[in-house]
Amino acid sequence: MLPLRTVEIKPIPQRPARFPFTVPFVQESLHITFASPVTFLVGENGSGKSTFLEALACAIGATTVGSESVMNDPSLAPVRELADCFRLTWNKRTRKGFFMRAEDFFGYARKMAAARQEMEANLQEVDETYRGRSLLARNLAQMPYQREIAAMHRSYGDGLDHNSHGESFLKLFQTRFVGEGLYLLDEPEAPLSPSRQLSLLALIKTMVDQKGQFIIATHSPILMAYPGATILSFDGGTVQPVSYDTLEHVIITKTFLQNPNAYLRHLLQE
């Protein structure tokens, strides 16, 4: 059973003439029923898929992977007003999972690096404070900080900032994904190579097997190919289910790879 069953936008009698209320999908009443564990939100830039995902994260009060909570992040201030218009229906309310935008990763990596530096500084301070006292007393005082540093090392090795962007992304997912969680991801493919995107699909499959639910805004034909996923298009001002083979992202990518010159010859002539 999926954690989140439906999302609908309440009627807005006097819709403000400002973002995000000017985004096309907000112009109509919206009702989405989540019928599969993986739902992809697709559409051209400006169609509103990321706006919807951000407002949904605020309506849920989702945990974030970043330096700010959804309630305090200044960049989410406009969509928090839209989130007040969302009505959610749950099969089973969950606090597991998180909301993440690709750009939030850097804030999270910096936060983890700062926490580790603080723990190491505390260790050094204890070492100096307990100099001349018994080894047992010093070890007991250092134990909480050593435990935290060891936990960080088990999860992230030398740190997320010691890996490539794509490797760090996957390491974060491997560490933070838990069963029965609800995950809202905005363009997670941004730092990932095609092979890493396949690795992400494998991680998603593992979590789906553990009753996890994913709602993902993406441009990636690789991610959208997840078997049995629901694909919702935000193009045209409405939100409609579409099939994988009819997506413009898929058609353009497929035809380009089959015959790149058909697209490039005009550029090459300039």
Question: Which tens digits make up the pLDDT trace of 93-121?
Answer: 998 999 988 777 665 665 655 566 666 66
Which residue range(s) make up the domain with 239?
4-105+180-243
Task: Report yes or no on 253 lying in a domain.
Answer: no
* Model confidence, pTM: 0.78
Whether 14 and 143 map to the same domain: the answer is no
Task: Report yes or no on 254 lying in a domain.
Answer: no
Measured CA angle at 212 (ends 211, 213), to 5 deg = 125
Identify which has the larger pLDDT, 82 or 66. 82
Whether 91 and 126 map to the same domain: the answer is no
Whether 101 and 205 map to the same domain: the answer is yes
Whether 99 and 184 map to the same domain: the answer is yes
Task: Report yes or no on 29 lying in a domain.
Answer: yes
pLDDT grade, residue 123 (50/70/90)? Answer: low
Give backbone dihedrals phi and psi of 232, rounded to 5 degrees, phi first: -110, 120
Among 178, 4, 169, residue whose Cα is nearest residue 87 = 4
Whether 84 and 65 map to the same domain: the answer is yes
Rounded to an integer, the average pLDDT of 148-154 is 59
Q: Which of 97-101, 144-148, 206-210 is predicted with the least confidence, judged by mean pLDDT? A: 144-148
Rounded to an integer, the average pLDDT of 246-266 is 86
Percentage, residues of the chain above pLDDT 70? 78
Q: Distance of alpha carbon 169 from its chain centroid, rounded?
A: 10
Rounded to an integer, the average pLDDT of 151-170 is 57
For the chain, how long is the longest CA-to-CA vector? 79
Identify which has the larger pLDDT, 91 or 123. 91
CB atoms within 10 A of CB 164: 11
pLDDT digits (tens, 9 = 90+) for 22-62: 888 887 778 999 999 999 999 998 889 999 999 999 999 99
Percentage, residues of the chain above pLDDT 90? 41
Q: Is the peptide bond before 20 cis (omega within 30 degrees of 0)?
A: yes
Helix (H) / strand (E) containing 167 = helix 165-176
Whether 145 and 194 map to the same domain: the answer is no
How many domains are contained in the chain? 2
Task: Report yes or no on 264 lying in a domain.
Answer: no
pLDDT grade, residue 203 (50/70/90)? Answer: very high
The rounded mean pLDDT for the chain is 83
- Which amino acid is present at 150? A
Task: Report yes or no on 268 lying in a domain.
Answer: no
Whether 44 and 55 map to the same domain: the answer is yes
Whether 190 and 83 map to the same domain: the answer is yes
Task: Report yes or no on 168 lying in a domain.
Answer: no
Among 209, 252, 243, 199, residue whose Cα is nearest residue 224 = 243
Whether 212 and 223 map to the same domain: the answer is yes
Whether 236 and 117 map to the same domain: the answer is no
Task: Report yes or no on 189 lying in a domain.
Answer: yes
The long-range contacts involving 16-20, CB below 8 angstroms and separated by at least 24 positions, are 18/78, 19/78, 20/48, 20/51, 20/55, 20/78, 20/79, 20/81, 20/82
- Which amino acid is present at 116? R
Close Cβ partners of 145 (under 8 Å, ≥ 6 residues apart): 119, 120, 122, 123, 126
Whether 83 and 203 map to the same domain: the answer is yes
Identify which has the larger pLDDT, 217 or 28. 217
CATH of the domain at 35: 3.40.50
pLDDT grade, residue 162 (50/70/90)? Answer: very low
Show the tokens assigned to 198.
């396949």
- Quick check: 156 pLDDT over 70? no
pLDDT digits (tens, 9 = 90+) for 70-95: 888 888 899 999 999 999 999 999 98
Q: How confident is the model at residue 48, as a pLDDT?
A: 92
Task: Report yes or no on 48 lying in a domain.
Answer: yes
- Quick check: 231 pLDDT over 50? yes
Whether 113 and 95 map to the same domain: the answer is no
**Distance (Å, whole) CA 66 – CA 135:** 39
Q: How confident is the model at residue 160, as a pLDDT?
A: 45
Q: How confident is the model at residue 105, as a pLDDT?
A: 64
- Quick check: 150 pLDDT over 80? no
